[in-house]
Amino acid sequence: MPANVETMFSAVETPWHRLGVVTDSALTSSEAIVQAGLDWTVSVRPLVTFSSEGGGQTEGNFIDVPDNYATVRDSDESVLGVVGKRYEPIQNLECFSFLDNVLDDYSAKYETAGALDNGRIIWVLLNLGKNVVVGDDVTVPYLLMTNSHDGSTSIKALTTPIRVVCQNTLSLALGNYKSSFSFRHTQNVRGRIEQARNSLELSYNYIDGFQEEVERLIDQQVTDDQFKTLVDTIMPVTEVNDDETNLQLVARQRQAQEDIIQKFRTPEFSEHKETAWAGLNAMSNYELWDAPVRNEEREVRIAKKTIQQNQTPNTNILHRLLIGQRYENI
């Protein structure tokens, strides 16, 4: 298991981005918490430091840090973060219970859950049970619920489609279709979660919009030269000079362009050749699985970028350019 991943469970044989532990069946929220090792609570405690005036680091020589508090995991006294006075911890059980409503109302199932960065970030992933199918090409939409215990992010619920054949995450911006909700850790956050329960139907509306957009991308023809121009626009090659560092950078940039173009020329399904859908997946595949990754396991990086809604920025730019190109041809 990657070092930055604390605990996980998965109810399928292929966990999310190869993170997780396989289980035999989908679980209830309380069972999921135990399976994922998330059956712990967080408390907010006053933040203190030692006075520099006599006594040294001894009991009774503390001074309070105003308006700052530590979030602490109660089970092992681990400090997870420093937060402000308005922060209110939302326990793991509350986040999971929020998702139980989806299981009751729809055919969604728990698939993966776990913690990143020693428990600072937790997530649960549900298969929404409504696949996007175009010919033999299948994309599985998920609902990703995330929470942080260090104040780094809001509570989020994200609709996250994953294409089965290549495990690409394709969170496309689709005009009026809302794909995410977020709530700050403030005192009225529980009321917002109640409201968001009623908004989860928007995830299913997003799936309908996603299906329509996939069909449009498959119908949209893109020639090899057009795709090369798009790639060069998004990922331009630096101007060459005689500096050795510059030459190495230019070589890497050119190789990246060539890798993406080659993926475009050889899509997973031959009927998608020279289509906008092939181009979008070529770029996404490169960003997710081939682009250089520093100081982190690739799967952990994908998980974090997905939570930040910034896993494939160049793919998002390409999608906007393809939409513009589509309207130019009408």
At 300 the three-state DSSP class reads helix
Nearest to 304 by CA among 161, 152, 191: 152
Q: Determine the average pLDDT of the residues in 171-176.
A: 80
For the CA atoms of 260, 261, 263, 264, what is the dihedral angle to 10 degrees? Answer: 120
Rounded Cα–Cα distance for residues 125 and 10 (Å): 9
What lies within 8 Å, CB to CB, of 70 at 6+ separation is 44, 45, 46, 47, 79, 80, 81, 82, 83
How far is Cα 194 from Cα 131, in angstroms, rounded to an integer? 27
The tokens describing 144, both together, are 């990703």
What is residue 174's DSSP assignment?
A: B
The Cα 136–Cα 149 span in angstroms is: 41
pLDDT of residue 19: 61
Half-sphere exposure of 201 (CA within 13 A, CB side): 4
Spatial CA neighbour of 181 closest among 213, 157, 212: 157
Mean pLDDT of the residues in the chain: 82
pLDDT by residue (tens digit) across 234-248?
A: 999 988 777 777 888
Q: How many CB atoms lie within 10 A of CB 78?
A: 15
Tell me which residue has tokens 């513009």. 324
Kindly state the tokens that stand for 87. Answer: 């922060």
* Token pair 């033999």: residue: 136
Q: What is the pLDDT of residues 189-246, one digit of tens each?
A: 666 666 666 667 788 889 999 999 999 999 999 999 999 999 999 999 988 777 777 8
Q: From CA 138, how far away is CA 289, in angstroms rounded?
A: 19
Please check the confidence at residue 27 and state whether its pLDDT lies above 80. Answer: no
Distance CA 266, CA 203 (A): 32
The helix (H) or strand (E) run that includes residue 326 is helix 313-328
Q: Please tell me what DSSP assigns to residue 240.
A: P
Q: What is the mean pLDDT of residues 46-61?
A: 67
Query: pLDDT confidence of 23, banded at 50, 70, 90?
Result: very low
Least confident among 27-31, 109-113, 119-123, 273-277: 27-31
Q: C-alpha distances in angstroms, 10 versus 21, 67, 95, 119, 154?
A: 5, 39, 17, 17, 24
